[in-house]
Amino acid sequence: MTSTVEVHRPLPVTVAVVLVYVGGLANTALGVLVLLSRYQVDAEEVLPVSLVGAATILLGLLTVAGGSSLARGSRLARNLLTAYLSLLVILQGLALALTELEPTIVIALLAAVAVLAAVWIPPTARRYFRPDTVPVTEPSPML
């Protein structure tokens, strides 16, 4: 009979999961604000602002969806979350250039960087996402 060792989630990963949920919902709201700000920009900037807003909403919702897998220690979720947040940072940079939502976007940028740092930098977080290749075996009872 094989059993697995129960691994407790490290504090940086727990903080990252909370930030993922909060940040994903905040990015979704930010995307809505960017999408609504298209009514305040020049006519030639309406399409880029709309596309940035829609993409920010989509990536914010995908980030929220990946939060639960991240909490379970999924390496795929960590890699996808890194890709989503990298794209969000690029989109937020574009939104910063196209709209007048500077304080909101700067806070969202800092939150994305904090999540990436919490998932990749601490050694305990890196070990949490490393797969265990050797199962622990228990001795079989003598009958």
User: Is pLDDT above 80 for 141?
Assistant: no
pLDDT by residue (tens digit) across 55-112?
989 988 988 888 888 888 888 888 888 898 888 888 888 888 887 778 878 887 888 8
Q: What is the pLDDT of residue 116?
A: 83
Q: What is the pLDDT of residue 2?
A: 57
Three-state SS at 3:
strand
Confidence of residue 139 (pLDDT cuts 50, 70, 90): low
Q: What is the pLDDT of residue 32?
A: 93
Beta strands in the chain (DSSP E): 2-3, 136-137
Q: How far apart are CA 114 and CA 85, in angstroms?
A: 10
What is the sign of the dihedral through the CA atoms of 80, 65, 3 and 5? Answer: positive
- Span 34-41, mean pLDDT? 86
CA angle 60-63-65, nearest 5°? Answer: 115
- Span 43-47, mean pLDDT? 88
Q: How far apart are CA 46 and CA 20, in angstroms?
A: 29
CA 127 to chain centre: 19
Counts for the chain of helices (H) and strands (E), in that order:
5, 2
Report residue 58 as tokens. 């989509």
| pLDDT more than 90, % of the chain | 3
Q: What is the pLDDT of residue 54?
A: 92
CA 3 to chain centre: 31
Q: What is the pLDDT of residue 134?
A: 39
Q: How far apart are CA 88 and CA 108, in angstroms?
A: 9
Confidence of residue 132 (pLDDT cuts 50, 70, 90): low
CA angle 6-11-13, nearest 5°? Answer: 80
pTM for this predicted structure: 0.71
Q: How far apart are CA 46 and CA 59, in angstroms?
A: 20
